[in-house]
Structure 1
Amino acid sequence: MNKTLKNYHFSLDYPDVSGAELLEVLAIRDQIATLESAFSSEEQKILFEADRKLIANAVVFCQEISHFVNLYEHRKKNNISPQKWWWYLDVLVNVHEHLIPVAA
């Protein structure tokens, strides 16, 4: 398995790390974006599974990351496109909360 992918996949097994470490995970996902077209079908499956973990933990990740950066401001400052969806976890959380309201 690709070393960067392995690191990304492994990192997502520990969602309770600091926001600084989670920012590193997002930076690793940036690296993967440049590599993924060369991934084998097995590596593509592993990436899909890892991305699902990232999305499943988006609320926790956003809370921790917010101690270090405002994702909106970071995207704006660094001109990060929506194709890099992992930098839009705050948007995903917001959409999820509006589509699936918390039971009263």
Structure 2
Amino acid sequence: MLNKYCVSVEFPDVSGAEHLEILQIRDRLAEIESDLSESEKTLLTKGDRQLIEKVNDFYRELSRFVNLADIRKAQAISPQRWWWYLDVLVFCQFC
């Protein structure tokens, strides 16, 4: 699962449906994050950085498929799950 996440965030040009799957994988990784080894945590951090660095591309594709604000509201997603806030991160780049 970690490897899939790390590889997937390298390719922001895939469909929004695949990006939605990436966010769901990141949720599952958050659930087990405390059980990850130090090297796995390093990989996760690297994957997260890639996601943030390419936030515009990921959000552009995701927004064609889903409304992140609606998902957050419907599922009561907290800001600790920051990967569901890509729209906010895009906006904050201009703050």
Match in the other structure for 2:92: 95
Q: Give runs of aligned pairs for residues 1-104 of structure 1, distance below 5 A.
A: 4-98=1-95
TM-score of the two chains, using structure 2 as the length reference: 0.96
User: How far 1:74 sits from its partner (Å)?
Assistant: 1.0
Q: What is the percentage of aligned positions where both structures have the same residue?
A: 51
TM-align CA RMSD? 0.7
TM-score of the two chains, using structure 1 as the length reference: 0.88
What is the SS of the residue equivalent to 1:87? helix
What is the SS of the residue equivalent to 1:97? coil
User: How far 1:45 sits from its partner (Å)?
Assistant: 0.6
Q: Structure 2 stretches of 5 or more lacking a match?
A: none
User: How far 1:96 sits from its partner (Å)?
Assistant: 1.0
For residues 74 and 64 of structure 2, the distance between their equivalents in structure 1, rounded to whole angstroms, comes to 17
Aligned length: 95
Structure (1 or 2) with the larger CA radius of gyration = 1
For residues 64 and 10 of structure 2, the distance between their equivalents in structure 1, rounded to whole angstroms, comes to 21
User: How far 1:70 sits from its partner (Å)?
Assistant: 0.9
